[in-house]
Chain A
Amino acid sequence: MNLTCIICPLGCSLTAEICGETVTVAGNGCPRGAEYAKNECTNPVRTVTATVPCGKTRLPVKTDRPIPKAEIFSCMDRIHRLTAVAPVKIGDILDKTPWGANIVAAGNIEEA
């Protein structure tokens, strides 16, 4: 399988070969690339970001860890149901997802 590593801006071209339970990776510039390729073959994950309403403005939010790629749109559905209330700080948890990640604030809004 040919992949483009998304871990850092270098975007290394990776090849991953799946042989039973083991995945062999080539082309990676660092160990994180190998891990990315293995995940990509077995359980691809992505960080999801968006914004939610917060009073008259919008609060940027993200999942605090990557979630399964297949759940991105379910995660967006959850985000669409969220509203934040000021004051809110980076890292404040707005929602706990069933995929082990929280949807957290990715910006600060001081006053309501």
Chain B
Amino acid sequence: MYDIAIIGAGITGAMAARALSRYRLKICILEKESDVAMGATRANSAIVHAGFDAKEGSLKARFNVEGSRMMEDVCRELGVPYRRNGSLVLGFGSEDRQALETLLNRGQKNGVEGLRILEKEELRAMEPHISHEADCALYAPTGAITCPYQLCVAAIGNAMDNGADLFLDFPVSAIQKTPEGFCIHAGEKQVDARYVLNAAGVHADSVARLCGDSFFSIHPRRGEYLLLDKTAGSLVRSTVFKAPGKMGKGILVSPTVDGNLLLGPTAEDLENKEDTRITAEGTERVRRQAAGMVEAIPFHKTITSFSGLRAVGNTGDFILTFGESGVLHAAGIESPGLTAAPAVAEYLVTLLLEKGLSPEENPAYNPHRASAHAFREMTAEEKNAVIAKEPAYGKIVCRCEGVTEGEILAALRQNPKARDLDGVKRRTRAQMGRCQGGFCMPRILELIAAEQGIRPEAVTKCGGASRILTDKEDTTCGI
């Protein structure tokens, strides 16, 4: 019997699991995919928003600002990259200037520090590649960037190190009320828990309905992105947005913490909660809008395109409340969900403690997790000391990102263990560079097979039937 079961291993579930692991509780995280961070957490803008977007008084505004203040410490404790690069909202003409003034006022009411409007000259001095058409900008010095999937992996890993259990490939199919709490089923599998936190992202409404709660609904909004090579990563220093117009917030142009340039997202409301396809129109829209904001973007340096589904709730705000069933819902966590996650987690813990969850502290709780980047941040002398002990750290497997065999083996061994090629990619960046795994994928595939004691043919890209190799059951030829 678990004290609490968290449904969904995205950033919200991950941060909640970590926050709950401070207490002496039996915690489990249930995830339908074969790895953590597989939903919106995998594919979003990676922005720690300053907090001027959300309407004053909303949960979004409150937790955005609180989360933004917590994020740097959280990233440091979890060994995840964080860079306060500031953000800019560009204004083109007088109508935009008005919109920027509105954002400025809203941000100040929300408690965002250091906001101010820049005039063209100062803007250009700060970001020389900004479009000449932009004549002013709202500058938010507290805007920052991080890596959402690494943060999620690290938070879950930290929760697991502090005693939490992770069940992957656990697609919740039924939730039964029991005298002690709930019994959660995934086909044949089941777990019992006193409390349940629903952090199931785009599927949060379906999960809520499984326990009889139907007071909200979620629909997926697809966002497509383009990622450019690191040689384009320094085109802008800040995260650059456009003043919100009739068409919404529009796309952003931002460096990533790993040094790439990220363009996107589009915003397309869909029915299908699994439809993460890339479209020709989306790609074209991202290119066109980005080109209007920042000059001379080298689009030919695009190394990959991807899309994610944001979980848009029907209330316009985060839904953080118990349902009649007694299940705690954390739903409708769209932007600024990543930024808000640490603060939302604290709020969820408070709600659970009020409801009777035991507040006894976990004496073994350790907020720190070994950084996946630790090796690359070492000096040459420190690295050589590691290599002398573990020669695998001397072997570069992914040449584009400079990832060693030692780091890949660590990702396969550290909580939550990478189980497939994409899992290794998200944890180490191997296959994420300019050749996109062309050179290193065969080696990583063999490392996974050896580490897990499985045949190379059984290794997958991202779980399920996503096998890379096919069995040679039939070697007879003939066409």
Contacts and interface: CB of A to CB of B under 8 A. Distances in A.
The binding surface of chain B is classed by DSSP as loop
B478 A80 contact: no
A77 interface: yes
Contacts of A73: 477-478
Contacts, number: 6
Interface in B440-479: 475-478
Contacts of A80: 475
Interface residues of A, number: 4
> In the complex, which range does the number of interface residues on chain B fall in?
under 10
A18 interface: no
Query: Max chain A CB contacts within 10 Å: which of B475, B477, B478?
Result: B477
A73 B476 CA distance: 9
A76 interface: yes
A73 B478 CA distance: 7
Interface in A74-92: 76-77, 80
Contacts of B478: 73
Interface in A41-100: 73, 76-77, 80
A77 B477 CA distance: 7
B58 to A, nearest CB: 61
A23 B126 CA distance: 76
Contacts of A76: 477
Contacts of A77: 476-477
A41 B163 CA distance: 75
Nearest to A76: B477
A73 B475 CA distance: 11
Interface string B246-258: 0000000000000
A18 to B, nearest CB: 27
B132 to A, nearest CB: 50
Nearest to B475: A80
Contacts of B476: 77
Nearest to A75: B477
A77 B478 CA distance: 10
A77 B475 CA distance: 8
A4 B167 CA distance: 59
A102 B50 CA distance: 72
Contacts of B477: 73, 76-77
Interface of B: 475-478
6 contacts: A73-B477, A73-B478, A76-B477, A77-B476, A77-B477, A80-B475
